[in-house]
Structure 1
Amino acid sequence: MSEQRVTIAVEDGVADVRLTRADKMNAIDPAMFQGIVDAIAELEAMPGLRAVVLSGEGRAFCAGLDMASMATGGSGIDIHTRTYGPANIVQQVAWGWRGLPVPVIAAVHGVAFGGGLQIASGADVRIAAPDTRLSVMEIKWGIVPDMAGFALWRGNVRDDVLRELAYTAREFGAEEAQAFGFVTRLAGDPHAEAMALARAIAGRNPQAVRAAKRLAGHEGDAAAILMAESLEQAALLRTPNQMEAVMANMQKRAPVFSD
């Protein structure tokens, strides 16, 4: 991974992923872009993975773009080429979390500004400390959110609220963020809460969890979603892990699932 901008520690199927540029509040420079993309690729290919927790070391989750670094070393980033399916490399650092087959929980503290907010928005669930500050920051620099933010916020954040914030770069707190839909819930120790949630998810049928994530991200009309539900269910019924879930519940014991 590039200059150790990101670390991954895995235990019992849960990956603890951390942005590690703490001296710069995990601001995004070219090496951070590459480090996050590399981490997502590593997780995507990781056998036995069941859930991911994403956080930032130090005083903040992520302060957004390191404007000085991008001005000197980031001008060569190609935003036109779709290198990662529908996304370019800039979008992949946020969109890629949504594309992972397993749930991702973001533990947010300090600040999540601009690109940092977009990275957190790629997670399935976002748990924030009560004193976290957030902003759709890009208009401050005369640009627009371009790290998949609008695609990720659709369906979570009310349209008029998103417009106001994108037009103004106004900072807002964690309680507002929860009301707006940027944050799922608040916790005094968001990383501990995220890890507890990830471990709970890891204790469920991994095939069913992955199927639920696919259904949650389905973008078809109602008829397509109804058909997708049926197909996912048919693929799960009477499989060894599904039967193990039933037996474990009936026998009041912890299930033992296979990957």
Structure 2
Amino acid sequence: MVQYKVIDNIAWVTLNRPDKQNALNYDMFRQLAHSIKQIKSNRQLRAAVIQGEGLHFCSGLDVQSVTKHPSQIFKLLFKLLPGNQNLVQKVVLGWRTLPVPVYAILQGNCLGGGLHIALGADFRIAHPNTQVAIMESRWGLCPDMGTSIVLPSYVKQDHALAMALSAERIPAVQALEFGLISKIDQNPLAYVKQHIDSLSCHSPDALAAIKQLYNRAYQPVTRQLLWRETWYQIKLLCSKNTRIAMKNGVKNNEKQPYFERAKWK
């Protein structure tokens, strides 16, 4: 479901579940984390590319698949220490640790977990038909994939908050204006290949040093923030209102009223 290939010293990581718009199940999270490890250990690589097979990059979490197996939710969120990265955070923040430039090629739906994974890339090149959304609030949940660390360097707080609260899709042009994507191009694949070629004349050590330096400057990892993401998600998963939101989020279901808000701090 996640294909990993190396061609001409470029790692190609492909979400390959086109019949489900490349929706993420548990196995895909594991395979993405493994791909990141493979890239990190290969010192011959000059770049990495994340892409989706078919018409869409990724429609987000396959909620039905994951909720059928409650143990998978535990495995996705589990961490040995509060400030460590769990599996869902690794498949976003892991791209930031790689010593090569990482590109995400986007088209069609780039929603929820798909957008979070794309935000982990250094450059996000989108086809004009791309739509993006932060979807968690639709299901009564909060974003918990590490992008609370990444987003502040891309997006103004009011834009990020509005997207996360509403769960509404926005088109590529607006996503570019917000800073969620790097460039819109009719042929994102050709653009990425050309951009990688343009960097081939530079020392791979210099590129690695520059990337690590700028990542530390723009996105300092805060262990407390990683823990708070996970803790809020666990608290929401135990909430009566989340169970209502899950039902309300399904199209054509009769909308149910929510209970009084819990205490948050």
TM-score interval for Structure 1 and Structure 2 normalised by the shorter chain = 0.7 to 0.9
1:167 counterpart residue number: 165
Within 5 Å, which residues of 2 pair with 1:123-142? 123-142=121-140
User: Aligned with 1:218: secondary structure?
Assistant: helix
Amino acid at match of 1:63: S
Within 5 Å, which residues of 2 pair with 1:27-176? 27-73=23-69, 74-82=72-80, 86-176=84-174
Amino acid at match of 2:90: Q
Amino acid at match of 1:135: A
TM-score (norm 2): 0.77
User: Aligned with 1:131: secondary structure?
Assistant: coil
Amino acid at match of 1:76: F
Q: Deviations over 1:35-62 (max 9, x none)?
A: 1011111111113011111111011111
- Residues 1:25 and 2:16 aligned together: no
For structure 1, the 5+ residue unaligned runs are 222-259
**Whole-angstrom distance in 2 between the partners of 1:75 and 1:10:** 31
Within 5 Å, which residues of 2 pair with 1:216-255? 216-219=214-217
Identical positions, percent: 36
TM-score (norm 1): 0.79
User: Aligned with 2:198: secondary structure?
Assistant: helix
CA contact (8 A) 2:16 2:52 kept: yes
Q: CA deviation at 1:220?
A: 8.4
CA contact (8 A) 2:48 2:100 kept: yes
CA contact (8 A) 1:97 1:122 kept: yes
Instruction: Count the aligned residue pairs.
Output: 216
**Whole-angstrom distance in 2 between the partners of 1:78 and 1:53:** 24
Q: Deviations over 1:9-54 (max 9, x none)?
A: 2223211221111111110000111110111111111130111111
**Whole-angstrom distance in 2 between the partners of 1:117 and 1:71:** 21
CA contact (8 A) 1:64 1:115 kept: yes
For structure 2, the 5+ residue unaligned runs are 220-265
RMSD of aligned alpha carbons: 1.8
2:2 counterpart residue number: 6
